[in-house]
Amino acid sequence: MTDLPVYTRSQLALRNGQDKPQIWVAYQSNIYDVTQSRLWLNGKHYEHWAGQDLTEELADAPHTEDVFSRFNVIGILK
């Protein structure tokens, strides 16, 4: 794997589809770019907001962590 940039929670929070055009979410320290996903339109996916670490919230989701395999890892959450 190539060296990925490291981002803070504050930097991740800005990629919420509102403050900046990028829509990113984190899961298990990996940051995924979900900007192109129609399910994350405007930075919201059901009751979840982009720009956050969704690791703990996945337990309530109707899908498994395999859903993240559809997206590119673009960074590491510090």
Q: Which residues pair with 32 in a beta bridge?
A: 25, 73
CATH number of the structural domain 6-77: 3.10.120.10
> In a 3-state reduction of DSSP, which class is residue 65?
helix
This prediction has a pTM of: 0.89
Rg (alpha carbons) of the chain, rounded to whole number:
11
pLDDT at position 2 is: 66
Tens digit of pLDDT at every position of the chain (78 positions): 569 999 999 999 999 999 899 999 999 999 999 999 999 988 999 888 999 999 998 877 778 888 999 999 999 999
The bridge status of strand 73-77 relative to strand 6-7 is: parallel
Contact 22/33 with Cβ under 8 angstroms? yes
**Domain assignments of the chain as residue spans, ordered by start:** 6-77
